Structure 1
Amino acid sequence: MEEMLGHLPSVSEYYAGKNIFVTGATGFIGKVLVEKIVRCCPNVGKIYILLRPKRSQDIDTRLKELLDSQIFSKLKKECANYKDKFHAIGGDMMQPRLGICEEDVKLLEEETNIVFHSAATIRFDEPLRVAVDMNVLGVRKMIQLCRNFKKLEVFLHVSTAYANCDRPFIEETIYPPPVDPQKLIDALEWMDDDMVNSITPQLIDNKPNTYTYTKQLAEHLLIKEGAGLPLAIIRPSIVGAAWKEPFPGWIDNYNGPSGLYIAAGKGILRSMKGDFRAVADIVPVDIPVNMMITIAWYTATVKPKSMLIYHCTAGNMNPFTWGEMENVVTNFYKKIPLDACFRRPNVTITNNGLLHDYWVFVSHMIPAYIADFGFYCLGQKPRMVKIYNRLHRSIGTLTYFTMHSWEWTYTNLDMLKNQLSVDDRKAFYFDPRGLHWPDYIENYCLGAKKFLLNEDLSGLPVAKAHLIKLRNIRYTFNTILAIALWRILIARSQLARNLWFLILGLVTKFVKFFRITSSV
């Protein structure tokens, strides 16, 4: 091993002068990826980013907006001319030949050494036709494009650890797909949307959604049609806020746990269906990013004989359950509350469907209708019922993952780590065994407050005062309700009246005894 390491360049040395083509660079993983490469591999060549015009913005405006975003603030201080590394390539994953003009195609064919393909639709409830167009046909278009790259050294495809989630134990291999991708593609050409939507549940079968279904098909298509290319696949699980880089807790979207944390912190989310003993398989975004950078390095320098698949999950290596996460999130937001909370944070995770439905009705919908009635009386637009309906749809797409646990193999992860030098292991860390979950989750919650809600910590005293006010309102309401119910029972039941007088007598005796003891 030492002999092998001695012949391999460091990660930074390998990337010197290399030109990179990235899809999905405006996505969560993509942003962190390009920032990390330029910051830690300063001699990298050009980074070509596939961008499509959006609304009234052309690709140059979108690139400038990306490079001026907060994630690049550290890079701005360390490398003033970092923007010179980037070059926008106009295109669209949904268009024929990716919608790239002939001039840019020739540029990529002549210059590209490394391809990171992370563009995909990550909506779990995406219509099947759209998911296939983006996640499956997009891979085919990328393969066809990269076939002509004269200097291609690695094509890294970002898949998902849940591509094979219908299996409890998942190995680093390509499993047979439920249907041949081409047969599905051919069928979708003549089916109308109503027909596609009606047969989607039968097609995806044991898969929970079209995202995991099409991701498995994409892997099969990649290995079949990409034969001969220097391929590698990474399978991250649920990608969450940053662990260390670019900043602890950095997050820029409401997907996955982020939206749940904010809903819990605001006191909106009170019940969630899930198994509190199931593993919450979240990986900080900097872990898959560092792994992607080093996978490309290893694939290009060692040139393995077959395509390798890398699992990027916490899973059975460093498990942390949904129940443990619930406690950390709730306790943190009671200490560092969000501004203008709807109610005090208090979430219950249950795998009992009837109990969950009860709490949704009692703790979600009844308060929502009461609040909307109050907004209506004040001349404001009702909004809480709509918020809860969106929240329930979002939670519904995650229920499958909060109810199950999986085990993955990590042979290639451990092999990759052992191939790195000591310095590269520190610079490009990706082993989740060193992650301390309570600290990470607290940073995640704080990051959601700072980076998503733009709430300043200077407003913390007001937020805490508001939380105390909500607590007092709750105690007062519960006390009044309990007294009212009890008085109704006393008025109608002799047994209840006898019990009431018994309790009062015991309390009176206790107080008298306490006074006598104190005087003695």
Structure 2
Amino acid sequence: MTEIESMDKGQGRLPSIAEYYTGKTVFITGATGFIGKVLIEKLIRSCPNVGKIYMLMRPKRSQDIEQRLQELIKCAVFDKLRKELPDFGQKLFAVNGDITSPDLGISEEDAKMLQDEIQVVFHSAATIRFDEPLRIAVNMNVLAVRKMLKLCQQMKKLEVLVHVSTAYANCDRPFIEEMIYNPPVDPQKLIDALEWMDDEMLQKITPKLIGNKPNTYTYTKQLAEYLLTKEGQGLPIAVVRPSIVGASWKEPHPGWIDNYNGPSGLYVAAGKGILRSMKGDWRAVADIIPVDIPCNMIIATAWYTAVTKPSNILIYHCTSGSVNPFTWGEIEDVVMNFWKKVPLDSCFRRPNACMTYNGFLHDFYTFVSHMLPAYVADLGFCLLGKRPRMVKIYNRLHRSIGTLYYFTTHSWEWTYNNLDMLSSQLSPEDKKTFYFDPRGLHWPTYLENYCLGTKKYLLNEDLSGLPAAKAHLRKLRNIRYCFNTVVLVALWRVLIARSQFARNLWYLVMGLINKFVRFFRLTSTARH
């Protein structure tokens, strides 16, 4: 029993979160991911006395793990931390490994070190691609959990394992409770079947296997949760289920974002004038959660699990839709208005995206507003000796829209009993430091910061270029007016000049307009 635990039991209170993490040795998978970066930044900045933080990393793009570690330390997410604790990088250590390799690809020496030292484990590594082939999704989202459980069972000082799942692991249910549901198939049976199935056969039966699930991501996440209950018995485990993770709300910087996943890529596409139509239900609730909320919850969940040692695996929902709902239609209004006030540089067209639930209208808009301009633009690139790219961009955009369609046409309800209990255990100071209640989130302000974050952190655009961006939008508007004028004149020449009926209709309309103008002139003269 540690000194803090002895003191707390004697005084009848739990240690603060910062007190608990003092001197703790932490192991994180998925550290270079979106949640992983924010989790590390928050953990070090708010618990400055935390001990060593080991991160599972694999060599990537000709970089070894030490080079990737130094690249991670230089990331903009740590700018605030860098000012407060310039030597924070001394707490970070890379461990060579890969969740897809046997035993996580960790060497015997590193494995022994982890088994002897680690006290807190955060497992957030996973594939987040919705359209991932089932074999890869199982390998990364299910088998990786088994390997992590095996490693944790050998850790001599382990106090808690927090598994980061998803609120959509059971998205085939409209009402989701804080429990682990039985999957449609036992994970081991599926794993055994994958060993003898070839890829072609697996691809054909995947829709049957996943059933009412929209994709392999949600399907394998549910299998992973069930695996925790079967093979993680005796381990101090907690599960956090975030919904659609978006840009930060408050920390480390409002609107910080480092990827195009989820709504981020759609916001950029809409701002650039590339996205004109998206299929979805504008009345459906957009369950987006800022990244700093799940990170705070993960840290607090580990603290509570370690100091109270619950007898069961507790599930914590990290969603906004049930407590602070905001619809996709409302998001569309805020985002479009913002891009017209603060446009992106070098827009393809003026921002003017809309969401429609009608499949025919969406297909029509996709053909007229997406593919036709894309082919025309690529033809222009070819004539100028440049590489065509717009058709490729639109094909990628359409795949992204397709994977999100299920989530833009459904709404869910979640329970929060465990979350409310966790909140009640926090001191007033910890509630402020490790906030995870989305009720105080003002959506219009957050979304404007989100869009500004995509401009600043994803596209590296500076606000000093705003006058030029606005001038470019005016130029695009004038081009559109000229184009519309040419189209009207062409229609007049083709239809009106060659058809007696069309000419008579034209004269009737112009006559009515003339009468209205004369009427208002006479009325105005009489008043004077």
Q: Fold conserved (TM > 0.5)?
A: yes
- Residue 311 of structure 1 aligns to a residue whose secondary structure is strand
**Residues 1:185 and 1:5: Cα distance change in structure 2 (over 3 Å):** farther
Aligned equivalents of 2:337 and 2:482: distance in 1?
A: 22
Partner of 1:241: 247
For 1:469, the equivalent position in structure 2 comes to 475
- CA offset digits 1:251-307 (Å, max 9, x no partner): 000100010000000000000010000011110000000000000011111111211
- Residue of structure 2 equivalent to 1:105: 111
Q: What pairs with 1:28-177 in structure 2 (closer than 5 Å)?
A: 28-177=34-183
Q: Quick check: 1:267 aligned with 2:256?
A: no
AA of the residue aligned to 1:268 = I
Partner residue, 2:456: 450
Give structure 2 stretches of 5+ with no counterpart: 1-7
Going from structure 1 to structure 2, the CA distance change for 1:4 and 1:116 (only over 3 Å counts) comes to farther
Conserved in 2, the CA contact under 8 Å of 1:110 and 1:150? yes
Instruction: Name the count of aligned residue pairs.
Output: 519
Letter in 1 for 2:308: V
Aligned to 1:507: 513
Specify the alignment match of 1:368 in structure 2: 374
Q: 1:343 to 1:6 in 2, by over 3 A?
A: farther
Deviation at 1:435, TM superposition (A): 0.5
Shift of 1:407: 0.9
Q: 1:189 and 2:195 equivalent?
A: yes
Alignment of 1:121-520 (within 5 A): 121-519=127-525, 520=528
> How many Å separate the matches in 1 of 2:329 and 2:323?
18
Unaligned runs of 5+ in 1: none
The CA deviation string for residues 304-349 of structure 1, in whole angstroms up to 9 with x for no partner, is 1211000001112111111011111111001000000011111111
What is the CA-CA distance between 1:477 and the residue it aligns to?
1.4
> 1: CA distance between counterparts of 2:440 and 2:9?
27
Q: Once the two structures are superposed, what CA deviation does each residue of 1:143-167 show, in whole Å capped at 9, x if it has no partner?
A: 0000011111110000001100111
In the TM superposition, residue 4 of structure 1 has moved relative to its aligned partner by: 11
Tell me if the contact between 1:5 and 1:421 (Cα under 8 Å) persists in the aligned partners: no
- Equivalent pair of 1:5/1:420 in contact (CA under 8 Å): no
CA distance in 1, matches of 2:141, 2:477: 47
Contact 1:16 1:45 (C-alpha < 8 Å) held by counterparts: yes
Q: Identity of aligned pairs, percent?
A: 73
The letter for the 2-side match of 1:299 is T
TM-score calculated relative to the size of structure 2: 0.96
Q: Given the superposition, is the C-alpha separation of residues 247 and 6 from structure 1 closer, same or farther in structure 2, using an over 3 Å criterion?
A: farther
Does the 8 Å contact 1:5/1:419 carry over to 2? no
Q: Secondary structure at the match of 1:7?
A: coil
- Return the alpha-carbon distance in structure 2 between the equivalents of residues 378 and 223 of structure 1: 60
Report the CA distance between 1:481 and its aligned residue.
1.5
Counterpart code for 1:395: I
CA offsets per residue over residues 24-52 of structure 1, 9 Å max, x none?
Answer: 00000000001100000000011011111
Aligned to 1:272, the other structure's residue is in SS state strand
Q: Which moved more, 1:491-500 or 1:25-34?
A: 491-500
- The verdict on how the C-alpha distance between 1:477 and 1:391 changes in structure 2, with shifts beyond 3 A counting, is same
Per-residue CA shift, 1:418-465, capped at 9, x if unaligned?
111111111001001110111111100000000000001100000000
Post-superposition offset of 1:484? 2.7
Which deviates more from structure 2 when the two are superposed, residues 27-36 or residues 389-398? 389-398
1:24 to 3, 26, 30: 30
CA root-mean-square deviation: 1.6
